[in-house]
Amino acid sequence: MKLLNKKLILVIASMGIFVEALDIAIINLALPKIEKDLGLTNDSSYKLQSVYVLIYGCFLILGGKLSDFTGRKTVFLWGATIFLLTSLGAGLSQTYHSLLLFRTLQGLGAALIMPSAFSIVNYYFTESRERSRAIGIFGSFAATGSAAGLSVGGIIASYLGWSWVFLINVPILLIIIVIAYLYLEKDVKSNSKLPDIPAAIALVVSMLSLTWATELLSKPVENRLKIAGFLLLLVVTTLYLYKRLKTQPIPLLDLKVLALPSLRKGNTLFILLGALFTGYLFIMSFLIQQNFHFSAAESGFIMMPFNILSILIGRFGLPVLSHRMPARTIALLGAASMLAGTLSLVAAVQYHSLFFLLAGGSLIAGVGMTLCFTGYSVIAMDKVPTEQLGVSGSLTTTAYFVGGGIGLPVVSMFMSNTVGEWNSRPVLVLCAIASGSITLLSFPNSLLFSRNERLAD
């Protein structure tokens, strides 16, 4: 294949992941405007974010399996097309329920794009050093999309209207679809067996049941029967899933891999990270506009330095730290930075201090997220066999987004009790999550962490 084509293919896959990463963050600073235009409460608006994150996480593993069975090009094109159409639908929505529906389907499109794009990179870049460089570029597009989303979302919502945080995806995705259709090789018929669909459905239902039960905890007495019903559904589907995984010749997930202590601990850390960071994005969008009275555009410009700091640390700081520290230490530094950032946000609310607000954002979005995501990834993958790296990587990503799907309703539950000016209750929830991460990382366990553990170059 010509070098030009390979570079173009890398850009196609990277732009696909850039758009879905951008969409996670870009809506946050637009939420207050959406609330105002559609007459929503915090209780309703958080669902526009949580439903995307949750559906994305729930269908990610199935998306990866379909990519192996149906073909990476086919799944990528389907995912990009769904994302394009639902972005258009969300941008043109005039009602909350219409917007919520299209936001839900956007999560499904993202769940198809992510694993197929990653598979495209691994397929076209086969030489070890070339593949590492390509995956590094691919990952940097995802990080840049997440980092840029907050700033861009506020600026777009102020000058063009909140609809354009969704409509901006349409021309980008149209170009991606056309180029992918023309330049990606036609899928060869796979010899893989059709994924275990019943197990996949059970996995999705169990994760959704857990999240819905969590959402209803804001009014436990009123919703006690619904909560009990969802918890019962969670138990039944989990047991059914376990039975399928144990008895199927080609299970959806390998139980031996799931039993690895390193992967279990890594996934737990990713659940906590997802809950903390998505909660932070949601809280920050309202805190900076409602408590500090900045416009969405001003908020976007204020948060831009955090995003730049995150990119700089990922590009220049991590390579230095990786040669001097084990992954556990880097993860602990990240978790400590997250805790310091949440405490700084508490001080910002208590003293109405812009300094503490900016310090909190820098520590969480600029430093902590970059260190945590990298450190947790190495911890999770430490003992995973090479042939299971793909599905294990999907598991950690799923854990992160499920954590976000659970964390947002919990944060919103505390927000709904606030009247007028903000108090620090929602931020204290993030403090508790960060403390939990540090506690989990602090337990010595020779099976999980070795003295010679180092990040890859």
Q: Which tens digits make up the pLDDT trace of 247-289?
A: 888 787 778 878 888 888 888 999 999 899 888 888 887 788 7
Nearest Cα to Cα of residue 430 among 310, 282, 319, 227: 282
Q: Which tens digits make up the pLDDT trace of 291-326?
A: 788 877 787 788 778 777 777 776 677 777 777 888
Residue predicted with more confidence, 206 or 139? 206
* Confidence at residue 289, expressed as pLDDT on a 0 to 100 scale: 79
In the chain, pLDDT over 90 holds for what percent of residues? Answer: 18
Highest mean pLDDT among 228-237, 369-378, 383-392: 228-237
Angle between helices 224-247 and 197-216 (to 10 degrees): 160
In the chain, pLDDT over 70 holds for what percent of residues? Answer: 86
Q: Which tens digits make up the pLDDT trace of 201-239?
A: 898 899 888 888 887 877 778 888 998 999 999 999 999
* Confidence at residue 140, expressed as pLDDT on a 0 to 100 scale: 62
Nearest Cα to Cα of residue 122 among 113, 134, 111, 114: 134
Highest mean pLDDT among 17-26, 172-181, 358-367: 172-181
Least confident range of 91-100, 217-226, 364-373, 421-430: 421-430
Does the structure show a pLDDT above 70 at 418?
no
CB neighbour list of residue 133: distance below 8 Å, 6 or more residues apart:
125
* Confidence at residue 85, expressed as pLDDT on a 0 to 100 scale: 96
Does the structure show a pLDDT above 80 at 198?
yes
Q: Which tens digits make up the pLDDT trace of 65-101?
A: 788 778 888 999 999 999 999 999 999 998 999 999 9
Does the structure show a pLDDT above 70 at 416?
no
Does the structure show a pLDDT above 80 at 108?
yes
Q: Residue 291 is encoded by which pair of tokens?
A: 């408590």
At residue 423 the predicted structure's pLDDT band, cuts being 50, 70 and 90, is low
What is the rounded average pLDDT of the residues 372-384?
Answer: 79
